[in-house]
Amino acid sequence: MSENSNYPVGKSDRSIFFPLLIIFIGVILLLTNLNLIPGNGWNLIVRFWPIIFVFGGIDDLINRKWTGAIINFGVGSILILANFGFFSMSTWQIIINFWPILIVAIGLEIIFRGRSVVGTLIGVGFSILLVLGLFWFASQSPLVKDAISHPINIEVGDFEQAELNIKPLVGKLTIDSGDFSNQLIEGEILTSNSEEIKIESELSGQTQKISISTSGNVILPSKNMNNGFPWDLSLNTNVPFSINIEQIIGIQKLLLTGLDVQNLDTELVIGTMEVTLPESDEFSADLECIIGEMVIIVPEEIPITIYLDSGMTGVSLGDGFVREGDVIYSKNSKINQGYVLNVNLPLGSLQIINP
């Protein structure tokens, strides 16, 4: 046997995904440091995170994986559009509802990899249909049902304060002040056909405890609503409130101006949280968003101290706010600690501003 036997040399795929990702992050941070693009660099990276699918598509093109390239380009483009409000579904709602498409994509890539020209064209055709189907379902699917309306009317009783516990599955939660005196809480909640709403109210000493929650499965958002299923609640401005919120996916817009809220404890797994703080003598809050964007709007001249627990989080501070390590404070809080907030945001962007 000859010592100079020829062995076939396999051609391995060469990935450029991670180099593209590193270049993208570096360019964004560089441009923001040079003030060539507005905003905070990390905020922009969080907003454009679906571009990782586009990079995956470029990588697939280099390695001639045509089916995967089309699916990656399509999914990335749809998720970026969703981040900018193009669809009624949010980015994370699309991911939660349609993630099995990734399994279908892997199957198509395995079937049509290395096929003839005709087989490759068939795989490309299936991929295009898959992306167009996702776009259609996200925008105007006829399978999307109308939401069911639940009016909320809870009257003021003989008590000194109220405790409000809210547990929506998904959707957009809005809390603001109401122009009424006889009602404690007034508003409307829209749920899917597969959701069940539960409202409980009981008096414990001088505290009225109200619990509003939903259970079930949310497959697709309402076709006539933006941001899925909205919860719109207005609270009595003359009653002291303690508010507790637990939400999985969606948007929280808490407009506490004019309300007598003494304590706020809110948890959001994935989504966007915007909190406008009240103007009161005492206020404390625990704000948690595992993945997403958080905006805290602090009234002028209110001293505040924020203890931040973060990971890969971009932080943008308005004028009058200073960060030292994991503590953010307003300049006048050195004299008076004022409001105390505990913020937990492992992955996303945090913005603290005045109105």
Higher pLDDT, 85 or 60: 60
Closest CA to 248 of 225, 273, 226: 273
Residue 137 clears pLDDT 90, i.e. is over it: no
Exposure letters 235-251 (e unless 16+ CB within 10 A, then b): bbbebbbbbbbbbbbbb
Q: What percent of the chain has pLDDT over 70?
A: 77
| Average pLDDT of the residues in 159-168 | 92
Phi, psi of 263 (to 5 degrees): -145, 140
| Contacts of residue 354, Cβ cutoff 8 Å, sequence gap at least 6 | 297, 298, 299, 300, 318, 319, 320
Average pLDDT over residues 198-203: 91
Torsion of CA 54, 60, 65, 68, to 10 degrees: -30
Question: How much is the pTM?
Answer: 0.68
Give the Å distances, CA to CA, from 312 to 37, 168, 342. Answer: 21, 27, 17
What percentage of the chain carries pLDDT values higher than 90?
A: 26
Q: Could you give the dihedral angle defined by the CA atoms of residues 96, 98, 104 and 108, in that order, rounded to the nearest 10 degrees?
A: -120
SS3 content of the chain, % helix, strand, coil (to 5): 30, 40, 30
Is residue 93 pLDDT above 80, yes or no?
Answer: no
Amino acid 343: pLDDT: 95
| CA-CA-CA-CA torsion sign (211, 216, 217, 221) | negative
Q: What is the pLDDT of residues 235-279, one digit of tens each?
A: 999 999 999 999 987 889 999 999 999 899 999 988 889 999 998
pLDDT at res. 236: 93
Q: How far apart are CA 150 and CA 222, in angstroms?
A: 14
Would you state the pLDDT for residue 53?
A: 87
Helix (H) / strand (E) element for 129: namely helix 117-140
Would the CA dihedral through 49, 36, 85, 188 be positive or negative?
positive
What six digits make up the tokens of 227? 């941001």
Amino acid at 123: G
What is the C-alpha separation between 132 and 135, in angstroms, rounded? Answer: 5
CB of 244 closer than 8 Å to CB of 226: no
Question: CB–CB of 141/223 below 8 Å?
Answer: yes
Residue 341: pLDDT above 90? yes
Q: Which residues pair with 244 in a beta bridge?
A: 165, 265
H runs (alpha helix) in 48-99: 51-62, 66-83, 91-98
Asked if 185 contacts 176 with a C-beta cutoff of 8 angstroms, the reply is: no
Lowest-pLDDT choice from 101-110, 232-241, 287-296: 101-110
Residue with tokens 């991670």: 18
Of residues 3 and 315, which shows the higher confidence score?
315
CA distance 175 to 178: 9
